[in-house]
Structure 1
Amino acid sequence: MIDVLVVGGGPAGLAAAIRAAAAGLEAVVVEPRTAPVDKACGEGIMPGGVAALRDLGVRVSGHELRGIRYTDGRRSAEAAFRGGPGAGVRRTELHTALHERAAALGVRVVTAKAGEIRQDEDTVTAAGLTARWLIAADGLHSPLRRALGLDRPVAGPGRYGLRRHYPLAPWTDHVEVHWSRHGEAYVTPVGERLVGVAVLSRDRRPYDRHLAAFPALAARLADSPGATPVRGAGPLRQRARG
């Protein structure tokens, strides 16, 4: 019998499967999409995340990050990371590295959707596979969480994120957080000539209109066409029952 069945083959699901396989358990991942999958993501990994990847035996390149800087265009505050550097890494590169590490440890990936979940006192079955344990790693708006009745309501207006990359040499080794009354813009260097810019806001409007709320940042990006299409996600805050 399978020890651990992981529903969702993104970074969280693959990391869980790698940890299980490294502990000597049989781990199987159920995921309908082919790796790597690109999604709206800030793509900044904190120092603790870099250490966790190292412990999993996963190596990624990207751009070294020394700290975080907050600015509104007139004032700024910054701090360096005390636990070593972080890393700006394209989500597709992270996903590929995790996928390769899982495969090297013998993790099997089944191309399917979870479908109906059945449980008894000792086992759980999904996608026609029976295991001792199931991990729900199927995303922000987890269908599995809803199916098991584990969703909790979220009060207040939702926040949404939009992300695009620009073919520019990074101008800083910090994550830059620009803010205005409309929301925040997160600038993350992810390569020698690639910078990710994600905007987070309660306002639902096009990416370029969001960017206009940060004049200094918009001016820096004005002559650079986007290197990737705009991707979005949200609402971002979700709650689950324990």
Structure 2
Amino acid sequence: MRHTDLLVVGGGPAGLATALHAARAGLDTVVAEPRPAPVDKACGEGLMPGAVRALTALGLHAPGHPLTGIRYVQGPCRVEAPFRRGEGLGVRRTALHTVLHRAVLDAGVPVLPLRVDAVRQDADGVTVPGAELRARWLVAADGLHSPVRRSLGLDRPTRTAPRYGLRRHYAVPPWTSHVEVHWGPDAEAYVTPLGPRLVGVALLTSRREPYDTQLAGFPELAARLPPHTAV
């Protein structure tokens, strides 16, 4: 049986940042993440200024595109505001994950290729069944549909209809240094500058339809994103 101070279940950005803070505080820490790094998923890929400051406080930097504010768009209506305390950063999720993953390994924290679907909890800590692993504390950083949260009876039913995330990158120059949020009747489109010739567009929608069908609901945005520039 391997004993550790802290078990972090989930090796995404939140789990890795938690593990790095814990290791630097002197805790013997282990991360359980079955997927090989870097882990990718559909997301907006934008760090707000507070997140950039948090990354800087860890002594880390991820390559990306500066973000100066946020803009909301619905048809002809627009409203925008600059960030008041520093810049944000548009950064590929894989690039951010790579930076955090390397920092965790450099700190001596093992990232075990282990899927944790449940734990047994007692007064002194938690045990991972079948893995010969025990920890004094547990951080469940295994996502929105956390199996660990469910196994501990902490899950709560949602009252809203499910929504789906889709994302695509386009090799076009950003037309703004703002994050843009385009509002539609069934979806929102989140546009994030990621580099000199790279823009990410994430869709959050209640309709289970292909990406191109969803994007067509935002004609002004779609006109900026020729299909042949998708990467």
Give 1:208's aligned amino acid: D
Give 1:45's aligned amino acid: L
1:136 matched residue in structure 2: 140
2:156 matched residue in structure 1: 152
Give 2:217's aligned amino acid: A
SS, match of residue 85 in structure 2: coil
1:214 matched residue in structure 2: 218
2:192 matched residue in structure 1: 188
The whole-number CA distance in structure 1 between the counterparts of 2:224 and 2:97 is 30
1:149-187 Cα offsets, whole Å, 9 max, x none, are 111011121222111000111111000111121221110
The whole-number CA distance in structure 2 between the counterparts of 1:192 and 1:128 is 48
SS, match of residue 221 in structure 1: coil
Please, which runs of 5 or more residues in structure 2 have no aligned partner? none
Does 1:23 find its partner at 2:25?
A: yes
| Distance apart, 1:116 and its partner CA | 4.1
Q: Counterparts in 2 of 1:54-203, with a 5 A limit?
A: 54-126=56-128, 127-203=131-207
SS, match of residue 139 in structure 2: strand
Q: CA RMSD in A?
A: 1.2
| Distance apart, 1:29 and its partner CA | 0.4
The whole-number CA distance in structure 1 between the counterparts of 2:142 and 2:187 is 27
Identify the match of residue 226 of structure 1 among 202, 227, 230.
Answer: 230
Give 1:42's aligned amino acid: G
| Distance apart, 1:113 and its partner CA | 1.3
Residue pair 1:168, 1:224 contacting (<8 A) in 2 also: no
Give 1:197's aligned amino acid: V
The share of aligned pairs that are identical, in percent, is 62
C-alpha spacing 1:122/1:88, structure 2 compared with 1 (3 Å): same
SS, match of residue 152 in structure 1: coil
Residue pair 2:118, 2:147 contacting (<8 A) in 1 also: no
Query: After TM superposition, which residue ranges in structure 1, 4 or more long, deviate above 4 angstroms?
Result: none
The whole-number CA distance in structure 2 between the counterparts of 1:219 and 1:153 is 39
